[in-house]
Amino acid sequence: MAKTTTMIKKFSIITINYNNSQGLRQTIESVINQDFKDFEFLIVDGNSNDGSKEIIQTYADRLTNFVSEADNGIYHAMNKGIRMATGRYLLFLNSGDTLIDNNVLKQVNDAINGNTDLYYGDILFQEPTKTKRLTSPEKLTFDFFFTENLPHQASFIRRELFKEIFDYNEDLKIVSDWEFLIYAVCKANISYKHLPIIVSLYDGNGISSNSDNYKMMYAERDLVLKKHFQAFIEDYEKISLLKQRRVKQFLTIKQHPIAWETLKVFMKIILWFIPNKKEAND
C-alpha cells in the first residue's frame, strides 16, 4: 500500500485496471501532471499479470493509495475505490481514459461550489478513425437515461451519495453506473449541474463500447427499469412511440391544412379496407 493521508481533498480520482498496462500508464501520467493538486489518486488493480503492478510501484510515491488483488469484476473494483476514497467528489477515470489536458481539474474546481450532488462535463470519444465530442444535456430526464448515460469519466459524484443511495450493484456486469445515476436523478431527485468543459478523452475499448456486449447491456437495463420503475415503464414505452419519426411527420403535415385534409381522406380509404377487431371475430 502507498502512504495514506487524513486531509480531505476536493476530488478522489479512482482508476480501476486489469491487464491494461499501457493504458494505465497513460491514465496515471494525465492525472499526476495536473496543475491543480487538491485531489487524491487511488488505483484498484485486479491482480494484473501484464506488468501493471510494476507500473503502479513505479508511481507509488505519486499515489495516495493503491491495491492489487483479485476482484469480482468492474463494479466490485469500483466499490473498493469508493470505500478507499475520502474526497468530496469522486471521478472514475479507468485505465486507458485520460484527462484532456493538465489544466482541466483546475477548470472543474473553479466551476464547482460544492453545493450540488453531481457535476458532469463532456468527453472526447476516441474511435479508430476519428475523435468526436460527446456533449451531455443541461437537463437530465428519464427520457435521456432511457437510451443514454452520463460518461463516468466526466462525472464528479458527491461521495456521500453512495452511502445515502447505494453502492454499485455488483450483480450487474455493464450498467451498474447507469443504474446508480438513473435512480439518483430520477427517483432520489439529487441536484446536478452540467459543466461545459471537456473533461477527458474516453478510451473506446471499454466493455460498454463493445458491440458484442450490447445484448447483455440491454438485458441488464431492462432488469433495472423493472426493478426501480415498474409502475410506469409500460406507459412510458407507449408514450415514447409518439417520438417516432412517423408521428413527427404527421404532426408536421398537420401544420399545413390542405396536406392534412388530403392525408385524412387517404387514411379513411385505407381504414375502409381494414376490418376492425370485432368484425374479424364475428
Q: How far is CA 269 from the centre of its chain?
A: 48
Query: What is the number of other CB atoms lying within 10 angstroms of the CB of residue 94?
Result: 25
Q: What is the mean pLDDT of the chain?
A: 88
In the predicted model, is pLDDT for residue 245 greater than 90? no
- 136 confidence band (pLDDT: 50, 70, 90): very high
Give residues with Cβ within 8 angstroms of 185, minimum separation 6: 118, 140, 145, 192
Between residues 43 and 253, which one has the greater pLDDT? 43
CA dihedral 200, 202, 203, 208 (to 10 degrees): 140
DSSP state letters, 39-77: EEEEEEE---SSSHHHHHHHTGGG-SEEEE---SSHHHH
> Residue 190 has what pLDDT?
98
> Residue 103 has what pLDDT?
97
In the predicted model, is pLDDT for residue 242 greater than 70? no
* Helix, strand, coil percentages for the chain (3-state, nearest 5): 45, 20, 35
Return phi, psi of residue 99, to 5°.
Answer: -65, 145
Query: What is the number of other CB atoms lying within 10 angstroms of the CB of residue 271?
Result: 10
In the predicted model, is pLDDT for residue 97 greater than 90? yes
Give residues with Cβ within 8 angstroms of 257, minimum separation 6: none
> Residue 280 has what pLDDT?
47
Residues 51-94: pLDDT tens digits?
Answer: 999 999 999 999 999 999 999 999 999 999 999 999 999 999 99
Q: Do 152 and 82 touch, CB atoms closer than 8 A?
A: no
Cell numbers at residue 276, please?
376492425
Between residues 113 and 5, which one has the greater pLDDT? 113
In the predicted model, is pLDDT for residue 192 greater than 80? yes
Distance CA 154, CA 152 (A): 5
Angstrom distances, CA of residue 218 to CA of 134, 187, 212, 230, 240? 21, 20, 12, 16, 17
Give percent above pLDDT 90 in the chain. Answer: 68
In the predicted model, is pLDDT for residue 246 greater than 70? no
In the predicted model, is pLDDT for residue 167 greater than 50? yes
- 2 confidence band (pLDDT: 50, 70, 90): very low
- 221 confidence band (pLDDT: 50, 70, 90): very high
Range scoring the smallest mean pLDDT among 83-87, 115-119, 127-131: 127-131
- 5 confidence band (pLDDT: 50, 70, 90): very low
Q: Do 95 and 71 touch, CB atoms closer than 8 A?
A: no
Report field, pTM of the whole predicted structure over 0.85: no
Between residues 45 and 125, which one has the greater pLDDT? 45
Domain ranges of the chain: 11-236, 244-281
- Residues 206-226 have a mean pLDDT of 80
CATH node for 11-236: 3.90.550.10
Range scoring the smallest mean pLDDT among 172-176, 179-183, 262-266: 262-266
In the predicted model, is pLDDT for residue 267 greater than 80? no
> Residue 276 has what pLDDT?
59
